[in-house]
Amino acid sequence: MVKISKTQELAQNIKLFEFDSPLIARKAQPGQFVVLRINEPGERIPLTIADAKKEEGVLVIVFQEVGKSTRLLGTLKAGDTIMDLIGPLGKASEIEKFGTVVCVAGGVGTPEIFPVARALKQAGNRIISIVGARNKELLIMQEEMQSVSDELYITTDDGSYGRKGLVIDELKRLINENVKIDKVFAVGPVIMMKAVSETTRPFNIATVVSLNPIMLDATGMCGVCRVEIDGETKFACVDGPEFDGHKVNFDSLMARLKTYIREEKESMQLFSKHTHSCTCGGK
């Protein structure tokens, strides 16, 4: 049993949770993730470690409510417990002094990239961050990103804040303006990471992406998280989740992410039906 010590709604359907987990917090490094299981019938879902407060023994995650498990998680309150929290998992990000690093994030990719950007900044890099969201309301962790970035550009799909457009437009602008970029880190929807990788490829700008395939054990024993890197099969949970974006077969990843679409829908419908007839007030 692991206790939730704090919950906070960052935007609609995006929540930040803190857990009392001194062991994992002590070891967590940027780029790593945890797996959690809410209750006995629950599935094991992977979530990136958005922050780890080592002294307090607190682990922070930020998640978007997309299906049954994340929605159920979202109904929990501070003081509640979940069954299992496992980690830290995956390889840590490679943090070095590269020079100028562009950190590109979309949606819940922002909290995921935040610890990486902070570590890169501490390592002496100049950080240019590009953060995107569909609209102003969905923008999260701006202040945090601001605090670790030398320059921060914000885009919204509808132009309700920052520049209207996609993160990729900003990245292209930087490249066109001949900003010397030594490395790009991109975290967000697969389609966005693919676009970033395609954009940087012709310019040979080293690009790291953080992949989010379906996972199960997340310790390298089942192979569901396999991704194709430069024609070779790798297990994202132990060999990644970060990989060289120019080598990733994104189309295969996108197809594999859809494996359980039917079951996910069924689960969600059942969950909605249930929650609407119970006492939670249709939440």
Partner 1 sequence: MAKINPKKTPMIEQTAQERVKNFKEVPFGYSEEQAVEEAKRCLQCKKPFCVAGCPVEIDIPGFIKAIAEKDFKNAIKILKKKNVLPAICGRVCPQEDQCEKECVLSKKMEPVGIGRLERFAADWEAASGETDIPEKHVLTGKRVAVVGAGPAGLVFAGDMAQLGHEVTLFEALHKAGGVLVYGIPEFRLPKAIVQREIEYIEKLGVKLITSFVVGNTQTIDELLKEYDAIFIGTGAGLPWFMNLPGENLNGIYSANEYLVRSNLMKAYLFPEYDTPIVKGKQVATIGGGNVAMDSARTALRLGADKSMIIYRRSKTEMPARIEEIHHAEEERIQFEFLTLPVKYYGDENGWVKEMECLRMELGEPDASGRRRPITIPNSEFRIPVDTVVVAIGQSPNPLIPQTTPDLQVGKHGNIIADEKTGRTSKKGVFAGGDIVTGAATVILAMGAGRIAAKSCHEYLKTGIW
Binding site for ligand FAD (CB under 6 A): 33, 43, 45-48, 61-64, 66-70, 108, 112, 212-215, 241, 257, 261, 264, 268
Residue 48 binding partner per list partner 1, ligand FAD, ligand FES, none, with a CB distance cut-off of 5 to 8 Å that depends on partner kind: ligand FAD
The smaller minimum CB distance to ligand FAD, of residues 34 and 181, is found at: 34
When binding is defined by CB under 6 A, the residue of 54, 158, 220, 258 that contacts ligand FES is 220
Supply the minimum distance, in Å, between the C-beta of residue 264 and ligand FES: 17
Dihedral angle, C-alpha 102, 103, 104, 106, nearest 10 °: -160
Supply the minimum distance, in Å, between the C-beta of residue 164 and ligand FAD: 25
Helix (H, G, I), strand (E, B) or coil at 4: strand
DSSP category for residue 263: H
Site membership for ligand FES, residue 36 (CB under 6 A): no
Residue 83 binding partner per list ligand FES, partner 1, ligand FAD, none, with a CB distance cut-off of 5 to 8 Å that depends on partner kind: partner 1
The smaller minimum CB distance to partner 1, of residues 203 and 260, is found at: 260
Pairwise CA distance, residues 35 & 89, whole Å = 8
The residues that touch partner 1, with contacts defined as CB under 8 A, are 23-24, 27, 37, 41-44, 68-69, 83-89, 216-217, 219-224, 226, 228, 233, 238, 252, 255-256, 258-260, 263-264, 266-267, 270
**Contact window for ligand FES (CB under 6 A) among 57-65, 78-86, 105-113, 211-219:** 211-219
Pairwise CA distance, residues 194 & 259, whole Å = 20
Q: Which two tokens stand for residue 271?
A: 């969950």
Supply the minimum distance, in Å, between the C-beta of residue 91 and partner 1: 10
Supply the minimum distance, in Å, between the C-beta of residue 212 and ligand FES: 11
Pairwise CA distance, residues 126 & 150, whole Å = 6
The smaller minimum CB distance to ligand FES, of residues 124 and 223, is found at: 223
Pairwise CA distance, residues 104 & 115, whole Å = 13
The smaller minimum CB distance to ligand FAD, of residues 175 and 268, is found at: 268
The number of angstroms, rounded, from the C-alpha of 22 to the middle of its chain's C-alpha atoms is 22
Supply the minimum distance, in Å, between the C-beta of residue 179 and ligand FAD: 28
Question: Which residue from 235, 161, 180, 172 is spatially nearest to 198, judged by alpha carbons?
Answer: 172
Contact 57, 20 (CB under 8 A): yes
Helix, strand, coil percentages (3-state) for the chain, rounded to 5, are 35, 30, 35
Site membership for ligand FES, residue 243 (CB under 6 A): no
The smaller minimum CB distance to ligand FAD, of residues 112 and 170, is found at: 112
The smaller minimum CB distance to partner 1, of residues 157 and 263, is found at: 263
What H or E segment, with its residue span, contains residue 73? Answer: helix 68-74
Pairwise CA distance, residues 77 & 74, whole Å = 8
Residue 107 binding partner per list partner 1, ligand FAD, ligand FES, none, with a CB distance cut-off of 5 to 8 Å that depends on partner kind: none
The smaller minimum CB distance to ligand FAD, of residues 6 and 163, is found at: 6
Dihedral angle, C-alpha 5, 10, 15, 18, nearest 10 °: -20
What H or E segment, with its residue span, contains residue 106? Answer: strand 100-106
DSSP category for residue 248: B
The answer for residues whose C-beta is within 8 angstroms of residue 281's C-beta and 6 or more apart is: none
Give residues in contact with ligand FES (CB under 6 A). Answer: 215-218, 220-225, 235, 237
